[in-house]
A and B are shown apart, each in its own frame.
Chain A
Amino acid sequence: MQTVTTIVGGMQAIVGSDHVRGGAGTAAYRLGPAAPQAVVFPTDESEISRVLAFAWEKGLGVVPWGGGAHQSLGTLPTQYDVAIDLGRMDRLLEHEPADMTATAQAGIRVAELQRRLAVHGQFLPLDPPLADRATLGGILATRLSGPLSCRYGTARDLVLGVRVAHADGTITKAGGKVVKNASAYDITKLYLGSYGTLGVIVEATFRLYPRPAREQGWWIASPDLELAQAVAIRILRSHLVPNRVELVDRTALTALAGPAADSALLLSVAGVPEAVQGQGSDLVRIASDFGLSPVEFSLPERRWAALSDFPWVNSGSKTACYRAVWRAIVLPADCAKGMRAVRQATSQWAQAPMVASVAHGALRGAFCADTLEAVRRSLTAARTVLQSIAGILVVLEAPDSLRPEVDMWGVSPDALGVMQRLKSEFDPKRILNAGRLVGGI
């Protein structure tokens, strides 16, 4: 066990005394019951490398920290001595608009990155929840995405390369800066979704897209989830190129100011105005085959962000009730089935607003209830019914007192043995976010 003074002193020697916090200054970096002994704010690659080399030598448990927006994800680390806050590494390093690529440091906030790219009419089509706070590194490490993945895919389709600080401080690069690359192993993908357990992403290069001239939305209210689902599947098999296809249940409709209905599809199409118009009429025709009528709407950008933020925001206040936030994956064609099963299994205990990104079979929702026990029962019951249709439920946020009783991941991957061996190769001392990922990795 290292003393606090050794840790703080060692870190101060690397980044300067203004950029290390100890004592009470670490409270905001608490994870569950534990606060770290020090929070370090490196300013560049060389500093983070030396910070890690120090931690490696002393055997200190390290948690990489971006905006802190999604630190509720995953299991609690088994050892937590130092938080490395990447907030000072927030530069957009390269942006050649004509190449449609950019490189940024990991600590840049996603919303800020988008503002910088928008100056040139471009964007990174990742719309994770809480983009105002979340950092690029954070959403890549957790592989978070949003409704736009329907059209643009997820981080694994958009990131071209990364620079990573390893457990012992070694810096490596993976991938490259061009849009096509088959040079040796594509280990960039290993770091995406690794929760910092293999290394700390310090920089990423990614593909950009032009901001569409116009995005047009439609609500298609439906008497039940299954009919809305059928429309969604038809649209996804048609020649339409929707931006977002979200299946919204009754409770979530209220939260998202949707139509008063049992359920609805929320769709959008983006592009040049003529094309948006054309796709809009096709959409109306498809919906009318099912006896439904789309209602057109336009939204300022902030409102689209609210859709991405659901259920972190708008799903019941954390203070007024006990709340758990979760995501689930099912087959795309099973979204309605999954949502109905969850609704039926939990309605006696909790409010359960839910939305599904149909193209990827990605459900997200919250359980809000008056008692902790009701939230716990809802999670267990939902997980059970989803398992019966081969789905997986992952808890993203739960009250601290519930966490020890709930398995956040709820699954054991087929290739867990391979994953564990990878962890041992990359971080044999287990200093990086140990225990955070699925299967105790």
Chain B
Amino acid sequence: MNHDGLAPETRGRLIQACERIVGPGGVIVHPDELRVYECDALTYYRRSMPDLVVLPTSTQQVAEIVRLCREAGVPIVPRGAGTGLSGGATPFAGGVMIVLTRMSRILEIDLPNRMATVEAGCINLTLTNAVKRDGLFYAPDPASQQACTIGGNVAENAGGPHCLKYGVTTNHVLGATLVTPDGEIVRLGGKLSDEPGYDLLGVFVGSEGTLGICTEVTVRLMPQPEAVKTLLAIFQNMEDASNAVSGIIARGIIPVALEMIDRPTIQAVEANVKAGYPLDAGAVLLIELDGPRAEIEAEAMGVEALCREHRCLDLRVAYTEEERALLWKGRKEAAGSFGRITHHYYLQDAVVPRTKLPQVLREIEDIGKRYGVLVANVFHAGDGNVHPMICFDLHVPGQAEQAVKAGSEIMKRCIEAGGTVTGEHGIGLEKREYLRLMFSPDDLAAMQCVRRVFDPAGLCNPGKIFPEDEPQEYRSKTRHPSGEAAPR
């Protein structure tokens, strides 16, 4: 689908109408300013510019804007902080982009019930900071948590390093207010758990802005653990490290985080932030345990034994908060450090069964070699959520193509190993074609039923998730007048 922009008169009318709703300061129309909104953190994937950007300050305003767009037949694209990694907030066919960053308030903190309600544009870390004094925290912690919005987390079902024990966004969202593509305000879920009826909230979380625009979110808050223990296990190679990961999981130990950082990443990180990772290591595991003190001491002994069993060279324990922060700093700055070793990188997000990690990592390395590209790995090993960073230089002719080919092969191998194409980044624009490797046309058709119920006109974040040429009249067989089931 190409997009040449709205007709000038339609655009002009929309601008005027939006300005009436949010005031002139809330509408962005100048091409230079619009360029900021051309893509999210998946920067090499640009498709079209938004025709205009609107920054509403209330659910009511969002509803009015959506109704305007629906009447004009113009696509809407919701966006939070634009930190997404799969192109979920990248306009596909122009339209009106609704940016929720001005709706950033914490509306309620309900301590007795351990819940909070925030506007969609509330920054993830802001919430945890707001409840810290009360001994609570908000568990999902994407790497971008200082910038990303909770509404965006809901759209992408965001994860993070500490999701191994606590679960991802969907496990912590209790309710959401959304503006449907029709411009209606609907409340899904809420403070009561397990209300009768379909779990629409469950399917809305992770729907990447295609079922409506999330404007408010009610989340569960967790009590802070009694104690935290952070260890760094150093290995000769990735094989030993991944065997240790499989061993820890198989023993039934559930660390709060279990992250692997390979040699190329260590080089990049140390050149950049000096986290103290040994430069001669083949891989390190950053292992964090939290919970009742006696429990994590017992678990730490188990972890240590397993690491030694898998030939770990050294095991360091962070004894102070500063030491712990330093170990984490290396992990958190990893993506930002890649500039030290590569011009560009293509980041993937597949998940494989934990027992398959050693094998899959070996294969990833082989694939990289075959295509002549360096693959660095820094990832959520405990979940089996690999993040191969395929390094390339756009200026070297043909290298980007090789990187994409390597990426595609890695993805296929992960799926063959029983895995999935994305663990926490979402499908967005980037991974649409890979869906077919996982799901049959019938599987996708069932999802399209949901899409059609919420967004029959297909105006809400079009072009996302589903493969481009997926037919529009899905499950036509169930509507066939003869009532005959399709052959299987």
Contacts and interface: CB of A to CB of B under 8 A. Distances in A.
B161 to A, nearest CB: 12
Contacts of A185: 203, 206-207, 447, 450-451, 465
A438 B447 contact: no
Contacts of B200: 190, 415, 418-419
Given A57-B484, A178-B384, A331 B113 contact: yes
A170 interface: yes
A421 B421 CA distance: 30
Contacts of B343: none
Give the bracket for the number of chain B residues in contact with chain A: 35 or more
Interface stretch (A161-169, A248-256, A291-299): A161-169
A237 B136 contact: yes
B202 A156 contact: yes
A376 interface: no
A9 to B, nearest CB: 19
Contacts of B440: 172-173
Interface in B356-378: none
A415 B453 contact: no
Nearest to B246: A98
Contacts of B223: 236-239
A425 B197 CA distance: 16
Interface in B471-488: 475, 477-479, 483-486, 488
A92 interface: no
Nearest to B488: A49
Nearest to A423: B198
Contacts of A53: 485
Interface string A421-441: 110011011000000011101
B462 to A, nearest CB: 15
B423 interface: yes
Interface string B158-172: 010001000110110
A411 interface: yes
Interface in A30-55: 49, 53
A333 B293 CA distance: 27
Contacts of A59: 483
Contacts, number: 284
A174 B195 CA distance: 22
Interface in B295-318: 295, 297-298
B25 interface: no
A426 B442 CA distance: 12
Given A172-B443, A275-B292, A275-B298, A428 B479 contact: yes
Contacts of A181: 351, 420, 422-423
B12 interface: no
A189 B199 contact: yes
B114 A411 contact: no
B147 to A, nearest CB: 19
B22 interface: no
Interface in A168-203: 168-174, 176-190, 192-194, 198
A122 interface: yes
B424 interface: yes
B420 A183 contact: yes
Contacts of A330: 192
A170 B485 contact: yes
Interface string A138-178: 00000101000000011011000000101111111110111
A390 B195 CA distance: 12
Contacts of A394: 196
A100 B198 contact: no
Contact of B295 (A188, A271, A329): A271
Interface in B409-432: 418-427, 431
A93 interface: no
A438 B199 contact: no
B443 A173 contact: yes
A242 to B, nearest CB: 11
Contacts of A241: 291-292, 295
B418 A186 contact: no
A178 B445 CA distance: 22
A25 interface: no
Contacts of A326: none
A346 interface: no
Interface in B27-72: none
15 contacts: A153-B171, A170-B477, A171-B488, A178-B419, A180-B383, A180-B420, A180-B423, A181-B423, A183-B431, A186-B203, A189-B170, A238-B223, A239-B226, A271-B292, A278-B294
Interface of A: 49, 53, 56-57, 59, 96-101, 121-122, 143, 145, 153-154, 156-157, 164, 166-174, 176-190, 192-194, 198, 209-210, 233, 236-241, 271-272, 274-275, 277-279, 329-333, 360-362, 390-392, 394, 409, 411, 413-416, 418-419, 421-422, 425-426, 428-429, 437-439, 441
Given A194-B198, A233-B112, 9 more contacts: A154-B194, A170-B442, A192-B199, A193-B199, A237-B111, A332-B112, A332-B113, A425-B450, A439-B197
